[in-house]
Structure 1
Amino acid sequence: MPYSVAMLSVHTSPLDTPGRTKDAGGMNIYIRALAAALARRGIKVDIFTRCSDPQLPQIVQLDSLVRVIHISAGPQSPVHKHHLYQYLPTFARQIEEFRSSEDGYYDVVHSHYWLSGVAALTLAERWNVPHVTMFHTLARLKQMAHPDEPEPPLRLEMEQQLVQQVDHIIAATSDERSQLLRFCGAASNSVSVIPCGVDLELFAAHEKENARAKLGLETSRPLLLFAGRLDPFKGPDVLLRAASLMKEDALVVIVGGRSGQDEDVYKLRELAVQLGIAERVRFLEAQPQTCMPLLYSAADVTVVPSYHESFGFAAVESLACGTPVVATRAGGLMTVVQHEKTGFLVSRCPGFFAERLDALLRDPALRQHMSVAARSSVLQFGWAHVAEQVHHLYNVLVDEANCLLAQ
């Protein structure tokens, strides 16, 4: 059954380039790709996001059934996500005014991240429709993974309220679902496991030497890749420290951030100098998705040293391109990376990463074995399959809602 879905992404737009800022990452990929896959199933999707640039048009039509709609709430300029809560009532009110101006309707509200979830509570109640949410990251789980970096108390409180009040929660992995039940008190029948996805047509292997030549990267050294937001939580510094401990003279390519004056890039450059490895570290600004398969294919290993990942987009994209992954043994990475089959899972310590990276780079036969196994291990994450599961969930929730209305 076709539906009209209101998706909310308050703090970051699906139009943003993943990795360019600390707010643009896997969630941006997820929202845009899922909306496109749902549209191929005949579902209309309006994605509402806060307007942070007055030059942007209010409506951006991504295809015949998918729109990104910029909502004025607070300054039309970037605002740190920790300061956006005060604008959520305005955000929800402006969405309702937009809907009313078009005399439109929505069958489902699908929110992403806790800020969107809070705004969506009001709309779902007003429209009397089911509210599905995906947290993408949970403050409590982040805090458990990295106790030295406390999360805002408001976020912890609001996420707990959302767990109790939304109609359904999508978890990316069985591990995340278990943690929602154990640590957040979610009801077992209110959480479904539906993985994030990967574009299997786009993310496919390119010949390694050709990929490096197109990117202007040297071919004489083994190459280690980090791709993502340059947030300490993601651990690019761990890769640099690991590289300084390695016996193999590997080239390190870090993809993320902005060109020009980027404080995160500056700090990582300084660290590379301090570690004595600056001459073999290359920094590239965040790249569009269409360029990433070349980068994954150029690498011998992709490194994902995050404290925690709900899913791990960089890992699954790398594996789809046939490149093994060495990642932290945490969160969704334990679902995506098959230890000793498609890569290695290690404790988040530079020394452990260095040991596994050296072992992998010194064993071409093992790398080839992992490369062959990599792509087949992620075929289950194709977007068509993900959208089918989300569509089924919509069906169930809308049917339940209609039954309640009929009583």
Structure 2
Amino acid sequence: MTAPRTQPLRVLLVSHYYPPHLGGIENVVRNEAVQLAALGVDVTVLTSGERSGAVDEAGVRVVRVRAWNGVERRAGVPFPVLSPRLLPTALRLVRRADVVHVHDCLYPTSWAAGLAAALTRTPHLVTQHVALVEHPSALVRGVQRAVYATAGRSLLRRARAVLTLNAGVAAFVGRYGARPARSHHLANGVDPVLFRPAASAGERRDARRSFGLPDDVPLVLFAGRLVPKKGYDLLLAAHAAEPEPGYELVFAGDGDSRALAGRTGVHHLGTLSAERLAELYRACEIFALPSAAEGFPLTVQEAMASGLAVLTSDDPGYAPYRLDPGLVALVPRQVPALRTALASLAGDPELRGRMGDYARHYAETGFSWPQHAEALLRHYAEALPDRSPHHPSPRPPRP
């Protein structure tokens, strides 16, 4: 019988970006890191940055490798180009890790960590957030396919576990080499204290005023990058197609905002911190994200926790969540369908209230970061060579 572990479990989390860079994957990784550290795990994060270096943040060691982000700035594609120091840094960090947890197969940080894990025979897991992303550029689509067919396939095939957010992504990783017995559904969490409903009509009114938004009309919020796969253009078209919409659109996120400029009833607030975004959720009544091939976006979970009526894509990948279609609007990514659904929600405050109550209750019971972290510990334990389940010992403070 194997003796229980007496040293803290050492986990290397790998992500192409990490806060303060804003985005869904980086927020997931940060929450995982903080939750695991609170459970006594020795957590290190390998990521990119404007300069190389290592710092301790909230009990987590964050190691950044210098990267050029021109691809994101110029083309809206979040793909950092990292310095040659990436592979030696990954090898150094993987050698001291018990388990490597890679987030998404598409990025150089994942490839380097996967290669280092193979060379050192360190078990690794993969969380795959999305399948192939729709993009207007044939070059971007081709690069995605090439990466998933090569480095992605290797990462998925050798992974001790592959974690996915919805049925569509689960099918995708199966096509690219993930072993069915090692594929598992695992929902992300959400902070129900930060993301909460407005406590009163007065608090909602104050939140609106802090953003310069009108008081007398329902507000439909879109939170995310202004790129086609998110469907922001579909919302604009649905709004423009309605002679008297009865609602106004609010956009929070970066990207090409020229399509929003000068439109009546359309507000663009840019990129917001998590705290300001949480306040903006409380200012609005409806959340709309007609995105494509995204798993279960964090912004949808945040909107549900904030008690908003949620409208999102009618994607069969959502099946594992068993959402009530009468209380979450799952709509085709088509302008006429969006126009009809938004008009219906804007004109029916009682329906919005029922949908918001359902969303909040679902978030409180179904999206828990502590439960997510406990599930990760179980997967890590199964990935270890001795396969002995354990709870990590308390970690001593770093010198």
TM-score, length basis structure 2: 0.84
Give unpaired runs (5+ residues) of structure 2: 390-399
- Alpha-carbon distance in 2 for matches of 1:185, 1:77: 30
Q: Would you say 1:128 and 2:128 are equivalent positions?
A: no
Q: Which secondary structure state, in structure 2, belongs to the residue aligned with residue 377 of structure 1?
A: helix
CA contact under 8 A between 2:223 and 2:251: conserved in structure 1? yes
Which residue number corresponds to residue 58 of structure 1?
A: 53
Which residue number corresponds to residue 205 of structure 1?
A: 197
Among 349, 366, 373, the alignment partner of 2:358 is: 373
Shift of 1:340: 3.8
CA contact under 8 A between 2:102 and 2:125: conserved in structure 1? yes
- Alpha-carbon distance in 2 for matches of 1:80, 1:92: 21
Which residue number corresponds to residue 385 of structure 1?
A: 371
- Alpha-carbon distance in 1 for matches of 2:241, 2:320: 28
Q: Which secondary structure state, in structure 1, belongs to the residue aligned with residue 287 of structure 2?
A: strand
Q: Would you say 1:364 and 2:386 are equivalent positions?
A: no
- Alpha-carbon distance in 2 for matches of 1:151, 1:331: 25
Shift of 1:256: 0.6
Tell me which amino acid in the other structure corresponds to 2:45: I
- Alpha-carbon distance in 1 for matches of 2:305, 2:80: 37
CA contact under 8 A between 2:131 and 2:293: conserved in structure 1? no
Tell me which amino acid in the other structure corresponds to 2:277: M
Shift of 1:63: 1.6
Q: Which secondary structure state, in structure 2, belongs to the residue aligned with residue 110 of structure 1?
A: strand
- Alpha-carbon distance in 1 for matches of 2:388, 2:120: 13
Which residue number corresponds to residue 112 of structure 1?
A: 103
- Alpha-carbon distance in 1 for matches of 2:18, 2:117: 21
Where in structure 2 are the equivalents of 1:131-146 lying within 5 Å?
131-139=124-132, 142=133
Q: Would you say 1:91 and 2:86 are equivalent positions?
A: yes
- Alpha-carbon distance in 2 for matches of 1:171, 1:88: 29
- Alpha-carbon distance in 1 for matches of 2:155, 2:12: 17
CA distance 1:197–1:78, shift in 2 (3 Å): same
Shift of 1:236: 0.9
Q: 1:91-140 CA distances to partner (integer Å, 9 max, x unpaired)?
A: 1212334x49xxx721111111212332122221233221111121232x
Where in structure 2 are the equivalents of 1:202-351 lying within 5 Å?
202-206=194-198, 207=200, 208-246=204-242, 247-257=244-254, 264-269=256-261, 273=262, 278-330=263-315, 332-333=317-318, 338-351=323-336
CA contact under 8 A between 1:309 and 1:332: conserved in structure 2? no
CA contact under 8 A between 1:205 and 1:320: conserved in structure 2? yes
CA distance 1:402–1:336, shift in 2 (3 Å): closer
Shift of 1:160: 2.4
Q: 1:187-223 CA distances to partner (integer Å, 9 max, x unpaired)?
A: 2111111111111121111232232133321111111
- Alpha-carbon distance in 2 for matches of 1:326, 1:177: 23
Which residue number corresponds to residue 22 of structure 1?
A: none
Q: Which secondary structure state, in structure 2, belongs to the residue aligned with residue 186 of structure 1?
A: coil
Q: Which secondary structure state, in structure 1, belongs to the residue aligned with residue 384 of structure 2?
A: helix
CA distance 1:331–1:39, shift in 2 (3 Å): farther
CA distance 1:96–1:120, shift in 2 (3 Å): closer
- Alpha-carbon distance in 2 for matches of 1:68, 1:192: 27
Which residue number corresponds to residue 43 of structure 1?
A: 41
- Alpha-carbon distance in 2 for matches of 1:87, 1:367: 46
CA contact under 8 A between 1:315 and 1:333: conserved in structure 2? no
Shift of 1:69: 0.9
- Alpha-carbon distance in 1 for matches of 2:320, 2:305: 14
Q: Percent identity?
A: 25
CA contact under 8 A between 2:313 and 2:330: conserved in structure 1? yes
Q: Would you say 1:14 and 2:11 are equivalent positions?
A: no
Q: Which secondary structure state, in structure 2, belongs to the residue aligned with residue 80 of structure 1?
A: helix
Among 394, 397, 400, the alignment partner of 2:380 is: 394
Q: 1:36-57 CA distances to partner (integer Å, 9 max, x unpaired)?
A: 1111111121111123x23xx7
Give unpaired runs (5+ residues) of structure 1: 19-24
- Alpha-carbon distance in 1 for matches of 2:120, 2:359: 44
CA RMSD of aligned residues (A): 2.8
Q: Which secondary structure state, in structure 2, belongs to the residue aligned with residue 378 of structure 1?
A: helix
Q: Which secondary structure state, in structure 2, belongs to the residue aligned with residue 15 of structure 1?
A: coil
Tell me which amino acid in the other structure corresponds to 1:286: T
CA contact under 8 A between 1:316 and 1:336: conserved in structure 2? no
Q: Would you say 1:192 and 2:194 are equivalent positions?
A: no
CA distance 1:88–1:130, shift in 2 (3 Å): farther
Shift of 1:166: 2.2
CA contact under 8 A between 1:5 and 1:109: conserved in structure 2? yes
CA contact under 8 A between 1:228 and 1:256: conserved in structure 2? yes
CA distance 1:373–1:146, shift in 2 (3 Å): farther
- Alpha-carbon distance in 2 for matches of 1:236, 1:333: 20
CA distance 1:165–1:156, shift in 2 (3 Å): same
CA contact under 8 A between 1:14 and 1:31: conserved in structure 2? no
The 4+ residue runs of structure 1 with deviation greater than 6 A are 81-86, 145-149
Shift of 1:299: 1.2
Shift of 1:334: 5.3
